[in-house]
């Protein structure tokens, strides 16, 4: 094992004075080896196992490879802290016959280790407080984050009296939560998202009163949320989204006064939200109740949650008036609501709002003028409403706006040229597009048939959705200013005229949908320069000429061009003729015209035909009659 730069380890110096080495004072034995991020390279030396008084070992963030030496844990049975994270170690964990009672913190994450995690890691691990093996290749029955674990979570976690954190997300775990887990008095975080766990959440979870974080999201848990969840008075985060939970929110949940995040999105929960008193949750920052079956009016008690940064009530049955005072929540940056609602905003409200999603709210009339006051707005979704009139010029005053969805409304008039002046889409505002993570994931339907989720790890694509309206006129050449645009959807409108060449200047386009309009002329050959294009449709227009099949346009199916009878291409089974082919069928190559026969020629031909027919018929008849007589003679002879 080598290092760069070199360590000051020399035989002429007492090893207790070496860099990264600590010895105990009474026996002068090495107890601590601490060399993280020290440029170490090579195998873990088997001789390391001889340092049997070692209690603290940290060789993280180096370039160590290979497997841990055999007997490593048996020999180093005094270890309390082990950290080999961020290396390139492989192989299985070596077995050990020693007790693990001294272990407090084990971090083997970000390596390439595999195989089963031996059971002795948890057996007698009375002092274990943290155990991380995430981002490896482990398999078997015990689980830790981002691996390939399968099967049920074994019993025994409740026996780890000092275990504070248990994470097992993103595996293939099945079954229910182990019962003895509910007996743990020390555990503070239970995180097992993105597995295949099922069954009810036990009522006994209310006994684990030290829990601060519970993340059971993206599993198959069923039944109600435990009625006595309110006993978890230390609870700060409750993530139960994407399960099959039913029933109502327990009223005791409002006693969790330390709660900062409540996410129960995408379940089958119900109840009248007006009956819940959220005013005790003064530390609540994120509330996601979307995609359930909640009803009632917007809960007025939420106005007492002054720390709120995100609210989602979408895809429920919320109705009524949204109180104007909601715009006075100074920290609010994300708000998504759907239902039969109406809303007004104070003149100085929503100063920090970055995302506003009011899709499917049955909004009527003009696009609200108060939107022009939302100076920090980045994402706007007003889709699937009944908005009418022309798109007003208010958006050009929003410097950070990069995502606009006005689809499926009753809007009319021309394409709003002010959209081409948006600084965030033209690149004039610098690199500001969605760089800050979203507080909650947002769902979009880019082709109105498949839903996609964008969260803090994946930036929402800059987009303009104006499809399914009554917009008309030509697509302006100014569209070429939108250098940062990824998605442009203008389908199912009444746009006419030609497709402007300037669209090719929107070089970051990934999706372009101009289908179901009245566009004419040719498909610009310049579109072959859109190298990032993954979806393209000009179907059902009145385009003509040859499809420029080069570049990305060569990758799209015939459905992208159907409904344009004047287009020609081999992909449409309507080939285009070249000038040479047209010349080849010109007058000089036409067949000789047929000449009508003279009457005397017809008479001569008819007489000759009759004579020939008589001769053949007579001969045939002679032979036929002769054979017939012979057949009769033969028949009467034998019968």
Token digits of residue 626: 């002769």
Give the best-scoring range by mean pLDDT among 16-25, 456-465, 511-520: 511-520
**Could you tell me the pLDDT band of residue 61, with boundaries at 50, 70 and 90?**
very high
Instruction: List, for residues 417-429, the tens digit of each pLDDT value.
Output: 999 999 999 887 6
Q: Taking residues 491-516, what's their average pLDDT? A: 96
Instruction: List, for residues 462-488, the tens digit of each pLDDT value.
Output: 999 999 999 999 999 999 999 999 999
Instruction: List, for residues 122-131, the tens digit of each pLDDT value.
Output: 556 567 667 7
- Quote the pLDDT of residue 71: 81
Sheet holding 317-322, edge to edge: 150-152, 172-175, 196-200, 220-223, 244-248, 268-272, 293-297, 317-322, 339-343
Phi, psi (deg, nearest 5) at residue 489: -125, 110
CA atoms within 13 A on the CB side of 547: 30
Supply the pTM of this predicted model.
Answer: 0.71
- Quote the pLDDT of residue 599: 47
Instruction: List, for residues 149-188, the tens digit of each pLDDT value.
Output: 778 887 766 766 667 788 888 888 899 998 888 888 788 8
Q: What whole-number percentage of the chain has pLDDT above 70? A: 79
Say which residue, 551 or 559, is predicted with more confidence: 559
Min mean pLDDT across 222-226, 328-332, 528-532, 542-546 is at 328-332
Question: Do 59 and 78 touch, CB atoms closer than 8 A?
Answer: no
The yes-or-no verdict on residue 317 having pLDDT over 60 is yes
**Could you tell me the pLDDT band of residue 438, with boundaries at 50, 70 and 90?**
low
- Quote the pLDDT of residue 578: 59
- Quote the pLDDT of residue 147: 66
- Quote the pLDDT of residue 99: 64
**Could you tell me the pLDDT band of residue 94, with boundaries at 50, 70 and 90?**
confident
The residue ranges of DSSP E strands in 264-328, in sequence order, are 268-272, 286-288, 293-297, 310-312, 317-322
- Quote the pLDDT of residue 431: 55
**Could you tell me the pLDDT band of residue 334, with boundaries at 50, 70 and 90?**
very high
Instruction: List, for residues 256-284, the tens digit of each pLDDT value.
Output: 999 999 999 999 999 999 999 999 999 99
The yes-or-no verdict on residue 600 having pLDDT over 60 is no
The yes-or-no verdict on residue 143 having pLDDT over 90 is no
Instruction: List, for residues 202-243, the tens digit of each pLDDT value.
Output: 999 999 999 999 999 999 999 999 999 999 999 999 999 999
Integer-rounded Cα Rg, in Å, for the chain is: 38
- Quote the pLDDT of residue 340: 85
The yes-or-no verdict on residue 103 having pLDDT over 60 is yes
Say which residue, 433 or 415, is predicted with more confidence: 415
Min mean pLDDT across 41-50, 301-310, 382-391 is at 41-50
DSSP string, 450-490: S-EEE-TTSPPPPEEE--SSEEEEPPPGGGGG-TT--EEE-
- Quote the pLDDT of residue 489: 97
Question: Do 361 and 338 touch, CB atoms closer than 8 A?
Answer: yes
Question: Do 303 and 280 touch, CB atoms closer than 8 A?
Answer: no
Domains and CATH numbers, the chain: 1-138 (3.80.10.10), 139-316 (3.80.10.10), 330-577 (3.80.10.10)
Say which residue, 341 or 144, is predicted with more confidence: 341
Question: Do 510 and 461 touch, CB atoms closer than 8 A?
Answer: yes
> In 3D, which of 21, 125, 25 has the Cα closest to residue 73?
125
Q: What whole-number percentage of the chain has pLDDT above 90? A: 52
Mean pLDDT of the residues in the chain: 82
DSSP string, 335-368: EE--EEEEE---TT--TT--EEE-TTS--EESPP
- Quote the pLDDT of residue 14: 83
Instruction: List, for residues 181-209, the tens digit of each pLDDT value.
Output: 888 878 889 999 999 999 999 999 999 99
Q: Taking residues 530-540, what's their average pLDDT? A: 95
């Amino acid at each position: 094992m080598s290092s760069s730069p070199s360590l000051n380890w020399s035989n002429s110096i007492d090893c207790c004075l070496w860099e990264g080495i600590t010895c105990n004072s009474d026996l002068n034995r090495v107890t601590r080896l601490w060399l993280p991020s020290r440029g170490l390279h090579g195998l873990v030396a088997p001789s390391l196992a001889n340092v049997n008084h070692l209690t603290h070992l940290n060789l993280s963030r180096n370039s160590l490879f290979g497997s841990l030496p055999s007997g490593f844990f048996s020999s180093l049975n005094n270890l309390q802290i082990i950290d080999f994270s961020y290396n390139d170690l492989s192989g299985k964990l070596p077995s050990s016959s020693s007790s693990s009672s001294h272990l407090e913190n084990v971090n083997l994450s970000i390596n390439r280790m595999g195989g089963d995690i031996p059971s002795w890691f948890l057996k007698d691990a009375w002092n274990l407080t943290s155990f991380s093996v995430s981002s490896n290749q482990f398999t078997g029955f015990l689980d830790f984050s981002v691996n390939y674990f399968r099967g049920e979570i074994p019993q025994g976690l409740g026996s780890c009296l000092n275990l504070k954190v248990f994470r097992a997300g993103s595996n293939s775990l099945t079954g229910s939560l182990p019962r003895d887990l509910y007996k743990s008095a020390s555990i503070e975080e239970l995180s097992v998202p993105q597995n295949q766990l099922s069954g009810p959440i036990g009522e006994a979870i209310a006994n684990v009163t030290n829990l601060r974080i519970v993340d059971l999201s993206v599993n198959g848990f069923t039944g109600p949320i435990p009625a006595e969840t309110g006993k978890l008075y230390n609870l700060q985060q409750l993530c139960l989204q994407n399960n099959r939970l039913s029933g109502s929110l327990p009223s005791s949940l409002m006693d969790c006064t330390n709660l900062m995040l409540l996410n129960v999105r995408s379940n089958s929960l119900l109840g009248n939200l007006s009956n819940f008193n959220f005013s005790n949750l003064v530390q609540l920052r994120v509330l996601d109740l979307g995609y359930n079956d909640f009803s009632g009016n917007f809960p007025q008690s939420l106005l007492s949650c002054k720390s709120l940064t995100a609210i989602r009530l979408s895809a429920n049955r919320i109705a009524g008036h949204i109180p104007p005072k909601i715009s006075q929540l100074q920290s609010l940056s994300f708000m998504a609501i759907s239902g039969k609602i109406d809303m007004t905003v104070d003149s100085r409200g929503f100063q920090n709002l970055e995302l506003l999603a009011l899709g499917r709210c049955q909004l009527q009339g003009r696009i609200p003028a108060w939107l022009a006051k939302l100076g920090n707005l980045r994402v706007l979704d007003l889709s699937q409403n009944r908005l009418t009139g022309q798109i007003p010029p208010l958006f050009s005053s929003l410097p950070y706006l990069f995502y606009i969805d006005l689809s499926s409304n009753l809007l009319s008039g021309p394409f709003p040229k002010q959209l081409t002046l948006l600084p965030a889409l033209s690149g004039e505002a610098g690199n500001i597009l969605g760089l800050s993570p979203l507080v909650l994931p947002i769902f979009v339907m880019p082709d109105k048939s498949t839903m996609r989720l964008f969260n803090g790890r994946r930036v929402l694509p800059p987009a303009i959705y104006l499809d399914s309206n009554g917009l008309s006129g030509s697509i302006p050449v100014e569209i070429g200013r939108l250098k940062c645009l990824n998605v442009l959807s203008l389908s199912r409108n009444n746009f006419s005229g030609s497709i402007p060449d300037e669209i090719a200047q929107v070089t970051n386009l990934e999706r372009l949908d101009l289908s179901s309009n009245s566009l004419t002329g040719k498909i610009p050959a310049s579109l072959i320069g859109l190298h990032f294009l993954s979806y393209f449709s000009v179907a059902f227009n009145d385009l003509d000429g040859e499809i420029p099949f080069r570049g990305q346009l060569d990758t799209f199916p015939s459905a992208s061009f159907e409904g344009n009878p004047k287009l020609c291409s081999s992909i449409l089974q309507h080939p285009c003729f070249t000038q040479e082919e047209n010349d080849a069928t010109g007058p000089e190559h036409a067949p000789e015209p047929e000449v009508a026969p003279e009457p005397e020629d017809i008479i001569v031909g008819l007489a000759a035909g009759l004579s020939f027919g008589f001769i053949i018929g007579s001969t045939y008849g002679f032979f036929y009659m002769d054979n017939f007589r012979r057949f009769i003679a033969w028949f009467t002879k034998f019968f």
